[in-house]
A and B are shown apart, each in its own frame.
Chain A
Amino acid sequence: MNPRVRISKFALPGLLTALFLLALLALGYGDMHLSPARVWAGLRHEDPVAATVIWQIRLPRILVAMLVGAGLSASGLVMQAFFRNSLASPGLLGVSSGGAVGAVGAIALGWASTSLWALPAAAIVGALLATGAVLLLARQGASGERLLLAGVALNALLAAATSYLLSEFTGPYEKNTQILFWLLGGLEDRTWEHVMIALPIVAAAALLWPLGRPMDLLSLGAKEAQSLGVDVRGLRRRLLLLSTVLTALATAVAGSVGFVGLVVPQVLRLMVGPEHRRLVPLSLLGGAAFVLACDVAGRAAGGLRLGVVTSLIGAPFFLWMLRKLP
């Protein structure tokens, strides 16, 4: 049997199991170690101390980690199909930075404290503007170099915008810490509020689910896809909107977390092949598992921030992918 087929049969149950075990580990591991039995008791409020640790601190953080991972990874998968380029991802194209600028702007200008949704809304607007800029700079189906160079330019511009916001609106210490949080990317002190903000990721993922098959055709050429019966304009619009919202929401609750959208879909593609009907669910689960694992690893390494861990893994992986380019 084709090894890819063999792997793909086990990929879904394998990832689900991995996700469950990782969640169990993440619930038990920390300053206060909890055995699986105590985790179970805590989840059912039978152990008041464990219940507080789990329900107040660890569970929201785990859920945010999984939502962020699923969102970024699926967003990267969509961008790769959209631009027909396996190096496309929210971080490299500047969409994450756009979301971060929106979030930083909302904090700096004081909007973020007015409403729970002000910050994610600002992140979405920032990410949408960045996506629009990428489209203008690169055009559809642009060569790898052109697309990535457009991303470099955009990332530089957005970094400048962030620096400007930081220098112009240096406010109280608390605000600066908050801004620093977005720039570094992390999951410290995530609460149920953040889970709520990130929850629409589930809805976006559900909308993405049925688009797997037309994504296959689009990923091999827009004109060809149109000739084969795909409503390319409608599909493109939906994909772009979904991938931008996924990135923006993830960025709104965790700051800039790089390389998830690049690494996870690419590894899965190598394992199970390029069919998007399989890749969409797998990259949602795989992204969730990857970010959760990175967060646990960062905690185990003495509090390394999530963005640092994903970059430590993602940057070498990206260089390895570059080497494989013709």
Chain B
Amino acid sequence: MNSLDITRGTVPGRLEDLSLELPQGKLVGLVGPNGSGKSTLLQLSAGILPPSGAVAWGGRALADIPALERGRCASWVPQDAQFEFGFTVWSVVAQGRYAHGDDGKGVEAALGLLDLEPLAARPVNQLSGGERARVLLARALVTEAPLQLWDEPLAALDPRHALETLRLARAVSRRGTTVLFSLHDLRAAHELDLVVVLHNHRLRAFGTPDEVLTPGLYLEVFGVRAVPAPGLSLELP
């Protein structure tokens, strides 16, 4: 059973005729130049943009899944969110349990996983960009949705939190959750199970990093040359 099936998904001017099947329990990177349609693909997958074409989660057509149940099936994390109102970090993360009847389950654990315990009582409209990004990830995790769609979750994070988030995504996918997330760090993309490459609003390639991320593709899609070089590499202690 696939976790996500998109058939001929099109969003005029932003994404053209894209079909994609993501197997369950994989950690999938979404790469492509700026404006290639990564955010659009994630929103299409999340059912936020009305698709022309078909989207299915776990084999069920999106159109057949009622709004509340969708909140338990898939979770989308925006690239950045501006919060107008001063909800506490705790209460924003607890919103992830809305579709579960607001039972508050797993909120403390998610706060712990994303290093947010010291901020739990802080109003979200006073946080830094990286802190906000971690709040959004924690809220997505408490939904326990088997399909996680994250829009550049690492972009605002410091090196340690970025590595921890990657490790967290890996751990979540090992438990059967499919994680599809966009990123610009192509070296990190090499460590993932699968990679989706978008170019000019179209699917350019999909497969394992070794198959897909070739020097030819780097040059064609990103306009950069891949040069193997010894250098600094960061890891968690």
Contacts and interface: CB of A to CB of B under 8 A. Distances in A.
A227 B83 contact: no
B169 to A, nearest CB: 17
Contact of A227 (B69, B71, B91, B92): B71
A228 B87 contact: no
B136 to A, nearest CB: 8
Contacts of A217: 95, 98
Interface stretch (B74-82, B158-166, B195-203, B205-213): B74-82
B43 A228 contact: no
A274 B76 contact: no
B15 interface: no
B156 to A, nearest CB: 16
A269 interface: yes
A227 B67 CA distance: 9
Interface residues of B, number: 33
Contacts of B136: 224
A226 B48 contact: yes
B84 A228 contact: no
B95 A216 contact: yes
B69 A229 contact: yes
A227 B48 contact: yes
A227 B85 contact: no
Contacts of A224: 76, 78, 81, 136
A85 interface: yes
Given A216-B95, A217-B98, A220-B81, A228 B71 contact: yes
A230 interface: yes
B75 A227 contact: yes
Interface string A202-228: 000000000001101101110110111
Contacts of A193: none
A48 B124 CA distance: 58
B84 A219 contact: yes
Q: Is the interface of A mostly helix, strand, loop or mixed?
A: loop
B87 A216 contact: yes
Contacts of A310: none
A227 B84 contact: no
B219 interface: no
Contact of B76 (A84, A214, A223): A223
A325 to B, nearest CB: 11
B85 A229 contact: no
B20 interface: no
Contacts of A2: 121
B78 A221 contact: yes
Interface in A144-199: none
A66 B113 CA distance: 48
Given A224-B136, A230-B68, A273-B86, 4 more contacts: A220-B95, A226-B47, A228-B75, A231-B67
Closest 9 CB pairs of A and B: A229-B71, A229-B99, A231-B67, A274-B85, A227-B76, A229-B68, A84-B84, A228-B71, A223-B48
Interface of A: 2, 84-86, 213-214, 216-217, 219-221, 223-224, 226-232, 234, 269, 273-275
10 contacts: A213-B98, A214-B98, A220-B124, A227-B47, A228-B139, A228-B143, A230-B68, A234-B67, A273-B86, A274-B87
